[in-house]
Amino acid sequence: MSKTLKNLMTAPPSTELQFRPHPYGEQGTRELLRDVIAMANAAIDGPRHIVVGISHQMGNGKTFHPVKNDPVTTTCQDLVNEYIEPAIQIKHHFVSVEGKRVGIFQIEHCAESPYMMRIDHSETLRRGDAWMRSNDNIVKIGRQQLQSMFEKYFRESVAADHVEVGFPGEIMHKNLQLDTVDLRNMPSAVANNKLQELLKIQQTSRDSGATTVMARLTHARLFGSDNPYEDKSVEELKNEMSATTRKYYHDDAVFLFEEHGTELQLVVLNQGIRLIEDATLALTLPTHQALYIADKLPPLFRDNRFIDRPATTSNDYPGVTAKDDAVLVSCKIGDLPPATPIKAFGIPLRICVGKELEGRRVGIRYSLFGRNLRAPVTGKLKLVL
């Protein structure tokens, strides 16, 4: 038995620990929501627990009521997300204690009280209802308690205007000058152009009834005399052209992000007096055929073949998701101490911009989130091309 579990099993009910003899069940969602809100609003630090399958009577100790199953456990996070605000993270798992199965709800990171009902659940559980746990009791919150919670939250939180996000340098910049690249030199583009020229000669020779001498000479010029000529049909050449992007995928990645790309780093500066907890950063960039953003680090070329980079390295690269109308970039930064510039990315974001965008500006929208930020830090950066 772990130390944490042993403490739960031996401790009496308290502000951070509630015992419940039987599962909530589908008819007990009201009680579950009330108990979670009360626990989240408890005036304590650290995790809070609801233990299901144990009853406690003062002077008589604990009695086990083994839990066989509870359908609410698989949907508890969905229920909390739907009905409670601000967001609460709740975990549930079953454990065996002295051969008896009990369930444990664990609630953590409750730094944004007051927590309350977001929408109506029933006639007896309405939008705006809130409770808090004190010792072994659950009490409904009134105006005075709400005011105290809001005041405490504002005292201990950080205002969004106390945080700066920008490009690194002697001073923090909002604009970054980038060089552009001729994307016609990308391996897949070079191969595609060669096939296009060969296809044109092939079509011209056959339409005029000429021999394949011109096609052979063109092939030798494009691919070298050491590369044997193959008499391919127009359809075969077209199929080969359509496959160049896939065939040269790794070569293109090295060209774009290793040889000609830019390593993009951002810096976050907390100008407040309090630590910002558990910060994450999200970026939104526009999509464009000449703007390439690596969704992972380019492969390494070893022993005449491409190999992926070690997971220990790749895990420090930001998450990149391409949508139809935007590219989303996200990363977990962690805690932000006051007056200390912190790099956003463990490994800088790799981007490459084609000459088609030269002379233009590309906007980057950012949102910084933190557990004790009063509101997300939002703004816009620019890439000057």
Phi first, then psi, for residue 163 (nearest 5°) are -125, 135
CA-to-CA dists, residue 321 to 33, 58, 266, 308, 330, angstroms: 34, 55, 18, 19, 9
CB 98, CB 132: distance < 8 Å = no
Regarding whether 359 and 275 lie in a shared domain, the answer is yes
In this prediction, residues 176-198 reach a mean pLDDT of 87
pLDDT of the residue at 74: 80
Q: Does 177 have pLDDT greater than 90?
A: yes
Nearest to 128 by CA among 147, 148, 142: 142
Rounded distance, CA 162 to CA 174, Å? 16
Examine residue 248 and state whether it is found in any structural domain, yes or no. Answer: no
Give the model's pLDDT for residue 190.
85
Domain contains 252:
no
* Burial (CB count <10 Å: 0-12, 13-18, 19+), residue 162: middle
User: In the predicted model, what is the mean pLDDT of residues 39-55?
Assistant: 92
Do 61 and 151 fall into the same domain? Answer: yes
Q: Which domain holds residue 325?
A: 160-182+259-384
For residue 53, the domain's CATH number is 3.30.950.30
Shared domain for 206 and 164, answered yes or no, is no
pLDDT value at residue 9: 80
Q: In terms of domains, do 272 and 237 share one?
A: no
Q: What tens digit of pLDDT does each residue of 97-118 get?
A: 888 889 999 998 888 889 999 9
What does the pLDDT average to over 284-304?
91
Average pLDDT, the chain: 87
Domain annotation covers residue 254: no
State pTM to two decimals.
Answer: 0.69
For residue 59, is it left (φ>0), alpha (ψ between -120 and 50) or beta?
left
Q: Tell whether the model's pLDDT for residue 302 goes beyond 90.
A: no
Average pLDDT over residues 259-277: 94
Tally the C-alpha atoms within 13 A of residue 13's C-alpha that lie toward its C-beta.
Answer: 22
Q: Is residue 57 part of a domain?
A: yes
Domain match, 177 and 312 both: yes
More confident residue, 31 or 242: 31
Does 196 lie in the same domain as 331?
no
Does some domain include residue 47? yes
Categorize the per-residue pLDDT at 278 as very low, low, confident or very high, splitting at 50, 70 and 90. Answer: very high
Q: So what's the pLDDT on residue 234?
A: 66
Provide the domain count of the chain: 3
Indicate the pLDDT class of residue 380, thresholds 50, 70 and 90. Answer: very high
Q: Do 75 and 164 fall within a single domain? A: no
User: Are 282 and 354 contained in the same domain?
Assistant: yes
249 domain residue, yes or no: no
Q: Looking at the predicted structure, is the pLDDT value of residue 122 above 60?
A: yes
Give alpha helix (H) positions in 304-364. 311-314
| Same domain (yes/no): 375, 263 | yes
- pLDDT tier, 241 (very low <50, low <70, confident <90, very high otherwise): confident
Has residue 276 been placed in a domain? yes
Residues 225 and 171 in one domain: no
- Do 170 and 143 belong together in one domain? no
CA–CA separation, 41 vs 150, rounded Å?
A: 11
Whether 251 is in a domain gets the answer no
> Could you tell me if 271 and 226 lie in one domain?
no
Alpha carbon dihedral 209, 210, 216, 221, in 10-degree steps, equals -110
CATH number of the domain at 366, please.
2.60.40.10
